[in-house]
Amino acid sequence: MDQREAREVGEKAVQFAMWGKQSGSVAIKRTGFYSVDYELLPLHAVAGKTRVMEDEFISASGTDVTDAFRLYLRPLLGSGMPDAYRLRHNPVAKVLKR
């Protein structure tokens, strides 16, 4: 999905430059569960801006993501992604130097 969108952003940038004689940055805007549109934003609207992860995507513990984030990612990653598993703590005996 990312590869396809990256190509489409490039195509839109060429279209804006050739047909509209406009400059800016092409942005992907979600219009539905996973339908998108592309828009041209002025550089001052995007340059130097940092987008942080939304609070609803971070678990209460602060060390994991929520199901809302997984749902957000699903269209980007596609289906068939393996479930994530946590490693269990497996103590190992300390080796003493001789």
Give the pLDDT of the chain (98 residues) as one tens digit per residue. Answer: 777 888 888 898 888 888 877 778 898 888 877 778 899 999 888 888 888 889 999 999 988 889 898 888 877 776 666 666 666 777 788 888 87
For the chain, the three-class secondary structure string (H helix, E strand, C coil) is CHHHHHHHHHHHHHHHHHHHCCCCEEEEEECCCCCEEEEEECHHHHCCCCCCCCHHHECCCCCCECHHHHHHHHHHHCCCCCCCCCCCCCCCCCCCCC
pTM over 0.75: no
Residue 31's pLDDT is 84
